[in-house]
Amino acid sequence: MRLLGIVLGITLLAGLAFGGADSSFDPDQNIWTLSNGWIRASFQLTPEGFFRTQQISDLQSGDQWTASPNSPTSPVLLQTDSDLFDAQTHYFLVAEYAQSINPGGIRQFIMLQDVQRRARITLILELFNDHPVLHYSLKYQNLTAATSHITWINMAPWTFDDLGKRYTAFRVNQWSVVAKPADFEPLQSLLDIGGAGVAVDSGADGEQCGWLALRDSEERGLFTGWEFDGRTKTTVRQDGSNGYVEFSSTVLDLNHPVDPSGELQLPNAFIGLFHGDWDEAGYRTQRFAESVLAKPAPDAKSFPYVSWDSWAYQDQIDEQTLRRSAEIAADLGVQLFVVDMGWALGIGDWHADPAKFPSGLDALSDYVHSLGMKFGLHFALAEADASSPVLQANPDWTATDSSQYFGAEPLCLSNLPTQAWLIQEGIRVIDEYHVDWILQDGQNMVKQCTKTTHTHDPADSNYANSVQGINAVVSAIQQARPDVNWENCEDGGNMMTFNMVKSYVTSITNDASGSLASRQAVYGATYPFPPRYAERYMPESDGLTDYATHSYRFGGPWVLMTRLADLLADQVAFLKSEVQNYKNQRTDISAGKVFHILAPGADATDVIQSYNASTDTAIAVVTRAASAGPSYVFRPKGLQEQQRYTVWFEVAPDVYSQTGAQLMANGFRVLLPTPYSSEVVHIEAQQ
């Protein structure tokens, strides 16, 4: 990082440009303006000493989001024990400076001190080239002589003039522990102008993905996401009589102690602009997440992987069955071979069971490697059996959480001695068993813990067990063994956050719950998240039909949970060709824009489509569940109007040649002759 300028006090620093992203400071008016050709955001330290948001503009569409005169807003919104820091707090400017950052962008620091000298608060604003997204966070420093507690923060501190319009909010459920038909259901709600909020309850064990979008009837839209894995409550509401819309996003039960002179960096969040429909909101979010936030994919050309997972046998696994499965998996084209729960002596006793692996688990891993596949292992790091040696020796290491995972007890990951043991165990497991991939599993990865005997503050469980718990443990193991990739799972996609994407290369969505649930999970998860974060496990019960394999075509890693040794020769041949089809399309789908055409339902036909601008190709999976008609007229989206395309199908023999305009306006018929039939449609630009 280059430090391009440090300006103490109020000094001129105007017009620093960084290949697109630019931050300028007007010292006469104390106004900061950040822009990058897509978005412009301005903030002011007013003559009275209030720090306030002025406006966020969409420079492509001309849309404006302006602070409401009736409800001034500040990006600095937090509460310590008895002190509220908000748009009415008086500050003076201590320093301000800008840096260039990677990937291409600018970071602006604005350091404020409240006139009562209780706190110094640094606002950190970031713009990246070509993204209509403002990324931001706060750093708090305690200037008092006593320990203070941060008890409330607002990670979505935005209030805008409503311009007298009506607004619709959009959010997406995540997977829930109690299986619900509403898993990953997208939810659209017209805001009540009387001020009733629409809420997103996100984080581990929450109900929704950590993302919220809003638009008015003229398609002027905003989206916001927050980078925190614990429980949060985010709302958007409209006060029609006072003419504003207001966002709020808080970390639940926050009570984080900060020593005198101590500092705390609060979670990052982002606000982005879109003009159009929810697919456009999702696409802009996904592009930003992929280029700025997400852990890079292991290999852009061969990811999402095709995997095999031993849960076909539950915990009844043994060396012989797994070696035979590995041979067939390699023949099918499987890239990652995962030994699921059951390999260890017990949950929390992370040593391979010698009765199941008489030659050693490392020998199986080496065999898998010799067949050209990567080796993955199940690791439920936040759980331990009461009978495990670690809990026998340290019975106080449990959390007070009520969650249960296959009878194991929850561990408190923010208790430092527990954490130190876990980090060392994680590194040992990776080294001893030659592991390339960790399938992180468990029940509620951010445990509740109110014990007074642990190193964290007993009243700060949610923050402590996320940032200083699961995040700290995973990050320490990853720093020690950076070549190992991690998959997020907590029995299902139950921590779908924009902090999760920073540590994991994928996340399970629905766990082995079958074709329909898999398509529902992908349909919902691919609004906020790139397709590679919608991993699906295909259970044995799905059978081997076009309908089943097509149901897993679109999304993140495709994990086979099939008893491979039981397959007949023609089933092996079928699966092999479907694995190849998946591989042929995964990079197009991963890099494309997702169009959500028709949502899955038990008695419906569903359609999901991707369009990749760089290859000018589209792929759609069209699936008929229990009923609906024998055909569907599909009007693809996103094509170039003048371009002529070839349309072909994986099941039907038909081939069409039409322009993008014709295809999008008139559509074409996709045959779905029987219940549980499906088709994969390919649309390719002609040279």
Which parts of this chain interact with Zn ion (CB under 5 A)?
A: 412, 415, 449, 451, 454
Q: Are 360 and 322 in contact (CB under 8 A)?
A: no
Closest by Cα among 566, 539, 584 to 684: 584
- Minimum gap (Å) between residue 509 Cβ and Zn ion: 29
The residue among 155 and 474 lying less far from Zn ion, judged by its C-beta, is: 474
Distance between alpha carbon 601 and the CA centroid of its chain, in Å? 24
Q: In whole angstroms, how close is the CB of 468 to Zn ion at the nearest point?
A: 10
Shortest Cβ 394–Zn ion spacing (Å): 12
Angle between helix 471-480 and 416-432 (nearest 10): 40
Cα→Cα distances 200→56, 136, 170, 296, 447, Å: 23, 20, 10, 27, 20
Q: Check residue 551 and report its DSSP letter.
A: H
CB of 344 to Zn ion, least distance (A): 24
336/371 Cα distance (integer angstroms): 11
Q: Which is nearer to Zn ion, 66 or 450 (CB)?
A: 450
Cα(439)–Cα(309) distance, integer angstroms: 10
**Which CB atom, from 451 or from 481, has the smaller least distance to Zn ion?**
451
Query: Cβ 262 to Zn ion, closest distance in Å?
Result: 21
Nearer to Zn ion, 7 or 459 (CB): 459
Q: Work out the angle between the directed axes of helices 319-332 and 361-370 (0-180°, nearest 10).
A: 20
Amino acid at 206: G
Least distance CB 413 / Zn ion (angstroms): 8
Least Å from the CB of residue 314 to Zn ion: 31
DSSP-based three-state secondary structure for 550: helix
Q: Which is nearer to Zn ion, 287 or 454 (CB)?
A: 454
Nearest to 621 by CA among 600, 644, 591, 645: 600
Nearer to Zn ion, 112 or 412 (CB): 412
Residue listed under structure tokens 């507690």? 149
Contacts of 238 (CB under 8 A, 6+ apart): 162, 166, 167, 191, 192, 193, 195, 244, 245, 246
**Residue number, 412 or 680, with CB nearest to Zn ion:** 412
Q: Which tokens sit at 329?
A: 């998996």
| Residue number with CB closer to Zn ion (447 or 519) | 447
Minimum distance of Zn ion from residue 463's CB (angstroms) = 12
Nearer to Zn ion, 259 or 396 (CB): 396
In angstroms, give the least distance from the CB of 399 to Zn ion: 5
Query: Which residues touch 120 (CB under 8 Å, ≥6 apart)?
Result: 94, 111, 112, 113, 140, 141, 143
